Every structure is written in structure tokens, then in C-alpha cells.
Amino acid sequence: MSDEINLTHFRDLLQIRLAELQSLECAAQSRDSVELDQSKVGRLSRMDALQQQAMLDANRERGRRERLRIEAAFRRIYESHYGYCAQCDEPIALGRLNFDPATPLCIECANKTDHNS
């Protein structure tokens, strides 16, 4: 399949997404941390701050997981496995790769995985 797909195109898509993630991480790190001292802020403000902190933590974790998926996709490109399903070794549809260039699974295997979760 490597000769059927434009690896440069997918490498570029992965690089762009990785740069976006790094930019988001830098922006999140530059924000001031939220004051959680209840003696300085009211209870509702503290609850809002805790909720914002939880959402920030969840976003960081999502970004970390996506970065790992992108790095794995780069490894698959390097090892000439990119574009093939990690479970069944069948080609992954180009539309699926264009939608999510880091995907390791064809749609059939992804659906099986989702149903087994």
C-alpha cells in the first residue's frame, strides 16, 4: 500500500497536528494557575476553579494520548507499516487516514474494538 498512498501528505498532516498540540500545550502552561485557597475566594469560585483544573487536566491527558498516537504513526511510516491495520494487516481506507492520519486500525477492526470495550 505504501506506493498507493502519498506518505509525504500523511507525514505533513501528522506534523501539522503535532505542532498544533505543542502550541496548545505551550498556551496552557503559560496560563497562571488557579487560586484554590478558600480563604481568598468564595466557595462557588473555588468549585469553578476545581472544575476548570479538572478540565485542564483532562485536556492535557487527551493531548498526551494524541501525541503518543502520532508518534506511533511516524514509527509505522518509518517501518513501512503505515496505512495497514495493526490488527488484521489489511489496508486502511484513504478516507479514514485523511480523517485521522494517526489511526492504527481499519474501520472494521476499530468497530470490533469499540464493541468489546
CATH number of the domain within which 31 lies: 1.20.120.910
Task: Report yes or no on 61 lying in a domain.
Answer: yes
Task: Report yes or no on 1 lying in a domain.
Answer: no
Task: Report yes or no on 34 lying in a domain.
Answer: yes
Task: Report yes or no on 28 lying in a domain.
Answer: yes
Residues 34-46 have a mean pLDDT of 60
Give 91's strand partners.
Answer: 84
Q: What percent of the chain has pLDDT over 90?
A: 56
Q: How confident is the model at residue 83 (pLDDT cuts 50, 70, 90)?
A: very high
Task: Report yes or no on 87 lying in a domain.
Answer: yes
- Selection from 66, 65, 58 nearest residue 100 by Cα: 66
Task: Report yes or no on 97 lying in a domain.
Answer: yes
| Residue 87 domain boundaries | 7-116
Confidence (pLDDT) at 3: 44
Number of domains in the chain: 1
Task: Report yes or no on 96 lying in a domain.
Answer: yes
* pLDDT reading at 60 higher than 60: yes
**Higher local confidence (pLDDT), 27 or 103:** 103
Task: Report yes or no on 2 lying in a domain.
Answer: no
Confidence (pLDDT) at 56: 85
